[in-house]
Amino acid sequence: MEYPALYLKRGEDARLRAGHLWVFSNEVDVARSPLGDFAPGDVVAIVDHRGKAIGIGYVNPNSLIAARLVVRGLAHPFDRSLIVHRLNVALALREQLYAEPYYRLVFGESDGLPGLTLDRFGDVVVGQITTAGMERQKDAITDAVVKVLAPRQLWWKNDAGIRAMEQLPEYADLGYGNHTDEGSGGEVVAREGGLEFGIDPVGGQKTGWFYDQRENRDALARFVTGKRVLDMFSYLGGWGIRAAAYGAREVDCVDASAPAVEATRRNVERNGLANRVNAVRADAFEHLKALREARERYDVVILDPPAFIKRRKDFKEGSLAYRRLNELGMQVLARDGILVTCSCSHHMPRQALVDGVQQGARHLDRQVQMLISLQQAPDHPVHPAIPETDYLKGHILRVLPA
């Protein structure tokens, strides 16, 4: 194998040897390997300052993360065969975890394929590529997915804003299969907790469904039977519809997106829960204020917002938003109510989320009991050397008068 070398400065190989996969632009020895000599997505051998190869990766001279390591050592090329192998390794875990083929199949760096996400919905796969290196491998990835899974369709949902950092275009289209395929009625469905949720692989959020909260939604069972439940930022109704299936007597699902609210209504009908679940379009903060003023009370309030902190510099403003949201949520809780609060912001430490809840509780002269800590589902495995893969945190809490 002959790959051009990307040389690192002295001492800049330590993080890679400890298990991380990223090379930042200021770690590259540009005197020996000028970044301008590479095109975005070029496959390279990543080499330390002594000339010893660490492994094979890909480069993007236009990105702060200048390279990502894919293969350690030089024994195996970065090609379709490697991708097939990594898919099979990832698949073995998911088949051990879940009885049905509905899960996140590939979670980027944690599954040895940095820049690639694949979600499986039965015989449909929805993928997202966020790096130039993986974009260059798109045909090989498609071939590998077809070989390993033989799906009816593979959709590419490559419209994430993070692609702009890699100077990649945004698009969403069908990568494999036919638009008019009649299998499964041509509809893409997520199955979770014995329920079905119709998703939109092109117009939906991210890859269409949030499998990362599956086990956390499982935990609702002990808290919602016979209760009145409020599901904020409900998207397609995952939390709220599952609460109704567990026996909640009344559920309000609230989202600011009109298409999401309509999709929730369809999912409610699909699962035969229309008599217990309402879908409401409203801004979360304004709706919670209106509920507070109307003295509405819920036994369980679920807060699963989008990331309020997308960059480290947004921490102060974002953490304040989490505190305000949780304080509003507590204000519409019935006595001894249950608060489910989550954050998918990598830059929001778990303890900072707890601190915001506690500060809000004290401001309202209440106390909280932490019952269950929440994290991402095991089909989103955390890479212990890559903190960025550990992003989802949350808690189920009981809120009491002081």
Q: How big is the chain by its Cα radius of gyration, in Å?
A: 23
Q: Is 60 in a helix, a strand, or coil? A: coil
The number of residues making up the chain comes to 402
How far does the chain reach from its first CA to its final CA, in angstroms? 68
344 counts as catalytic: yes
d(CA 280, CA 287): 10
d(CA 400, CA 360): 13
The catalytic position among 344, 374, 377, 397 is: 344
Q: Which is nearest to 288 in space by CA: 321, 228, 320, 331?
A: 331
Q: Is 350 in a helix, a strand, or coil? A: helix
355: phi then psi, degrees, rounded to nearest 5: -60, -40
Helix, strand and coil percent figures for the chain, each rounded to 5: 35, 30, 35
Q: SS3 for 120-132, per residue?
A: EECCEEEEEECCH
Q: For residue 316, with 0-12 CB atoms within 10 Å meaning exposed, 13-18 middle and 19 or more buried, which class applies?
A: exposed
Q: What is 163-212 written as a DSSP string?
A: GGGGT---EEEEEES-TT--GGGG-EEEEETTEEEEE-TTTSSTTS--GG
The secondary structure of residue 382, as a DSSP letter, is P
Catalytic residues: 344
